[in-house]
Amino acid sequence: MSQRLDHIAFIMDGNGRWAKKRLLSRSMGHKAGVKRIKEIILSCFEDYGIHTCSLYCFSTENWNRPKDEIETLFQLLKTFFEEEIDFFKEKGVQIRVLGFLEDERIPSDVLSTIKKAVQETKDCTKNVFNVLFNYGARQEILEATRKLAKKAVEGKVDPERLTLSDFSGMLFTKESSDVDLLIRTSGEERLSNCLLYQCAYAEFVFTPCYWPDFDKKELEKCIREFESRNRRFGAIKG
Ligand code: IPE
Ligand code: IPE
Ligand code: MG
């Protein structure tokens, strides 16, 4: 691979429309979507040597959806983790959950399962799987600012000397590198509050493919597209 591709992020989108097209319920769409996760994440790690995969699973704005849809999605994610923890562990994949977990709206069984997945894989060192759950980038940035402001009030940091790395160290992604490639499925071309800070220099690839149809072939197309880009980072290259 000619370009650095350490961190790939996915906005998995289009589960609902995939289902609608087949006259199925939105829940069936989420079910088909969750089934796709393992293959794609693993292909990133094993076929492309990518170190970190981030997957946008539930946004802070997704609470605006009907209660039963949220409940179904949560239960599907819970089952996914229950079933796959051992697999990820064996593969050396560290699961991290990025988002606001101290939220009473998250059912306790779902919370304990995802916490268990994090705990059980904490010593894995080969790859990182960031699960963005109850995640919102603006809220993340606000929270980081709040933490630094508190430190400043306590006299622990000098506001004049704050660096970008001090700031990024306060984000949920503090241990991950910046996003190199962000892929959004379903044809929407927006970020929807996903990793705003971390995508400052990311390449974006938008595909019309609905997430439940997004397979290794589609992934390959997106990565090829990424490969064809000329990343300049403000300099003059190529
Ligand atoms: C999945 O797709 C995204 C999640 C919130 C998990 P959607 O449910 O947004 O599907 P569309 O956009 O309605 O088709
Ligand atoms: C973004 O998808 C959130 C996740 C994929 C988790 P949405 O389907 O919620 O985004 P909008 O509402 O179309 O912007
Ligand atoms: Mg959507």
CA 106 / ligand 3 centre spacing (Å): 20
Contact (CB, 8 A) for 218 and 232: no
Q: What are phi and psi of 191, to 5 degrees?
A: -90, -25
pLDDT of residue 3: 85
Pocket test for ligand 1, best of 69, 72, 186 (most atoms within 8 A of CB): 186
pLDDT of residue 237: 82
pLDDT of residue 97: 98
Q: Indicate whether residue 62 lines ligand 1 (CB < 6 A).
A: yes
Pocket test for ligand 1, best of 11, 12, 15 (most atoms within 8 A of CB): 15
Q: Which has the closest alpha carbon to 229: 186, 182, 167?
A: 182
pLDDT of residue 115: 97
Instruction: Dump the DSSP string for the chain.
Output: --S---EEEEE---HHHHHHHTT--HHHHHHHHHHHHHHHHHHHHHHH--SEEEEEEEETTGGGS-HHHHHHHHHHHHHHHHHHHHHHHHHTEEEEEES----TTS-HHHHHHHHHHHHHTTT--SEEEEEEEEE-HHHHHHHHHHHHHHHHHTTSS-GGG--HHHHHTTSTTTTSPPPSEEEE-TT--S-TTSSTTTTTT-EEEE-SS-GGG--HHHHHHHHHHHHT----TTS---
Which ligand 2 atom is the nearest neighbour of the CA of 16?
A: 8
Mean pLDDT by 10 residues, the chain (238 residues): 89 98 98 98 98 98 98 98 97 98 98 98 98 98 98 97 96 96 98 98 98 98 97 90
CA 59 / ligand 2 centre spacing (Å): 7
Smallest CA separation from ligand 2 atom 2, residue: 13
Instruction: Confirm whether pTM is higher than 0.95.
Output: yes
Question: Given its phi and psi angles, is residue 230 left (phi above 0), alpha (psi -120 to 50 degrees) or beta?
Answer: beta
CA 215 / ligand 1 centre spacing (Å): 17
